Amino acid sequence: MAPPVRRVVLGSVVVGVLAMVAASLLLRLWSAPLAVPFDYDGDAAFYLMEVQGLHDHGSYLTNPNLGYPFGQDTRDLPQGADNLNWLALRLLSVFGGPGTTMNLFYLLSFGVIAGMAFAVLRVMRIRPLIAAVASLLYAFVPYHLLRRGGHLLLVSYGFIPLAVLFALSILSDDPPLTTGSARTRFRLGRRGLLVLAGCAAIGSLGAYYAVFSVLLFVVAGAVAAIARRSWRPVWSAAILTATVGVVLVANIAPSILHRLRQGANPETIVRFPSETEIYGLRIQQLFAPRFGHRNGTLSRWADQAYSGPVTSELGQTLGVLAAAGVLVLLGVVLVGLAGDRRRAWWDGAAGRTLRHAGVLALAVILFATISGFAYFLSVAGMRDIRAWNRSVVVIGFLGLLALAVLAERWAEWAEARRGRRWTRRVSVVVAAGALLVGWYDQTSPVDRRGDVRAAWESDRAMFGQMADTLAPDTPVFQFPVVEFPEVPPVGGTQGYDPARAYLHAPSLRWSFGSVRGRHPDWPADLDERDGPALVEFLRDAGFRAVVVDRFGYPDRAADLEARLDQAAIREGASADGRYVWYVL
């Protein structure tokens, strides 16, 4: 019997709150003011920039305060697939600046993931204690803890459990949104509306997770159609896939229209099929310890697993419990291929769930792993989806689902033989042990905000001084010249580091951020000109101030500053010595 909706919702909220409390302890939120983000370099600076623009201008697509004199227009970067995430960030921005917004979003992601996983497991009739343990473990997979602000939108994978639930429904005897046996008919109803709403959400929470969900639907529909010799699973999968696809296209419509009107921009970001080999799933890392493990020996093992001639993204590790569940699923698939399938458990609820989940896990691994089938999708044109290692969140949930199903089956057996009271006592002990093992294995203390606090406060002081000194909308040129987006470091200046200035002085207009390929580039020898000629060029272009990032030069910009001192007025420098600024 399905649990009451009220209990499922209440349980999801409780589990979500527990996850956020645990995350607050792990992340040591007291280590720095909430305005200081967990990450400040690399891609984190890009997302901080987007969040600031979202707050200032209500859009992540255009920003008149960046890319002076043209303004920033990021419609060449199709980010609309994350529109629900952008909406959440816009709402959270009322509580503070970009650092506060990013921290709150990351903290809330733990609650959403745990709550959604709990709701799905309860709908699958897993008892609350088991569902809570599996959900909390899922919210703290290494993938989630190692992404943080660097891949801010990827931490929002809470709807993956719902996609798994829909795929398992397609594999069941009653695929959603369809009815009939000899002749398949469309059926909506309350359940159908909820499924369509879930698919619409999946299509608005990131292109990667939408593609992974569609893969689950397609595999489930094909396997069920062959096994049952029926078109009904195919139609069910097609409806779910089409819903996700239509919503996804609607979300990225501004980018599509921009390309149709302005033409393609081949200079912005170029992807190649070979990148699936770089960012594909590595089975070795899937079952290795997490990077930075608490145990020294396991940490060294992880270093070896993540080392090699071709590096990839961190966070591909499942954790020992989810890995055990995945091995169970793969074992069930092998038994299904070569073993005796006449036993009663095989056709029971637990056996069917394990078989179906095993098929889904195997399919994802075959597509996502290096040199897997995803390569052919990239060759066919789907090159923006290159980091298939991120499907670890799908595999991880399937593994934890397998353990939850086995635990539920054991609890039913124990209640029938030893009684409910004994079973509850043992279940509590085992659940506590599983949480402790998972916490030790999957997590590691994080104090990133303490690490970045000094740089954040130094930047805030200097750029804040600029904002107080200069009139609003004053154009400021930034050295070194760093193209946008996705470029290698210029000296010690990373690709999105120039965005830091805008975070602390959003009232000014900054030279950084104009999309490469849409507007003329600045002269390549600009920072090599003598002082008067350099200042004259910048003034003619409309700039009234200059910022120099000393990290971008081998000599820490000593030569450039000497030339600027000849024709501009030095106003100040950052406390950490990284930045210096001039009035022209």
Cis peptide before 485 (omega within 30 of 0): yes
Residues near 540 by Cβ (< 8 Å), separated by ≥ 6? Answer: none
Distance of CA 488 to the CA centre of its chain: 22
What is the pTM (predicted TM-score) of this model?
Answer: 0.94
Residues near 277 by Cβ (< 8 Å), separated by ≥ 6? Answer: 310, 370, 371, 375
- Please state whether 289 falls in left (phi above 0), alpha (psi between -120 and 50) or beta: beta
pLDDT at 447: 66
Residue written as token pair 């992974």:
212
pLDDT at 213: 97
Distance CA 545, CA 474 (A): 8
pLDDT at 462: 96
Low-confidence ranges of the chain (pLDDT < 50): none
pLDDT at 431: 95
**What number of other Cβ atoms are within 10 A of residue 495's Cβ?**
20
pLDDT at 271: 79
Burial of 310 (0-12, 13-18, 19+ CB in 10 A): exposed
pLDDT at 404: 97
pLDDT at 207: 93
Tell me the CA end-to-end span of the chain in Å, nearest whole number: 75
pLDDT at 372: 87
Distance CA 584, CA 572 (A): 13
Please write the tens of the pLDDT for every residue from 156-197: 999 999 999 999 999 998 899 888 766 768 888 888 899 999
Distance of CA 308 to the CA centre of its chain: 24
pLDDT at 338: 74
pLDDT at 306: 81
Please write the tens of the pLDDT for every residue from 86-133: 999 999 999 999 999 999 999 999 999 999 999 999 999 999 999 999
Distance of CA 525 to the CA centre of its chain: 38
Q: Which residue type is seen at 555?
A: D
Strand residues in 211-302 grouped as ranges (E): none
**Contact predicate 233/175, CB 8 Å:** yes
pLDDT at 524: 84
